[in-house]
Amino acid sequence: MPQETILIVEDDLDILNLLRYNLEQDTFETLTARDGDEALEKLRNHSPDLVLLDLMLPGVSGLDVCKRLKSNPATRHIPVVMLTAKGEEEDRITGFELGADDYVVKPFSPKELILRIKAVLRRSRLKEESGHWVQQGLKVEFDSFRVLVDGEETVLTATEFNLLGSLIKAAGRVLTREQLLDQVWGYEFVGYARTVDTHMHRLRQKLGPYADWLETVRGIGYRLKKL
């Protein structure tokens, strides 16, 4: 399998060099950018497998970089891990609402960060062998990683797609937030149960008229309505 490429967007040179060293010591090739404009230029000229994105950048902010990346059909499939000193819940929710796949707060453990990056990449590569699932006007094509709402494709992040897949496979059964964190994120995500709620909110928005098929079971978790 060819080496995967990570675009590191970080204005602090010491942190950038630390990230580049640890990623290259592992299994990755790297590209780097010191500000938002340079990051957007790298995205125009390269196709990284993942973007590791600082939020507080000179010029174009990390949030704006993420917004432009996710609104461009040529780059919206690229997963994003946000890396920032801003750890408040509101900041994490904003990042997830823009389409980020994970959110790591500084100071961080390089080892944990690489584990998270690998988990996000696994989710982005995930293909199901079960073909497709169809109910009324909602169609999920597991093999081609597509979701169609009344015939129109709606673009999900890898995390949103796998969250929907987990609920489909457990249709009619309640999955707790902890079960969903384990199944979808693939590692212990202590203290981040609200992450599931944020992704569920985005997923419902993208499912349009079928949003109410994703039921909240108060105090426990979520289930896909048995149809």
pLDDT in tens, 163-185: 999 899 888 889 988 888 888 87
Q: How far is CA 133 from the centre of its chain?
A: 22
Q: Is the pTM of this model over 0.85?
A: no
pLDDT of residue 148: 93
Nearest-angstrom CA–CA distance, 21 and 137: 48
pLDDT higher than threshold 90 for residue 211: yes
* Residue 50 pLDDT grade (very low, low, confident, very high; cuts 50, 70, 90): very high
For the chain, which domains are there? 4-125 (3.40.50.2300), 132-224 (1.10.10.10)
Give the pLDDT band (50/70/90) at residue 74: confident
Rounded to whole angstroms, the Cα distance separating 192 from 116 reads: 14
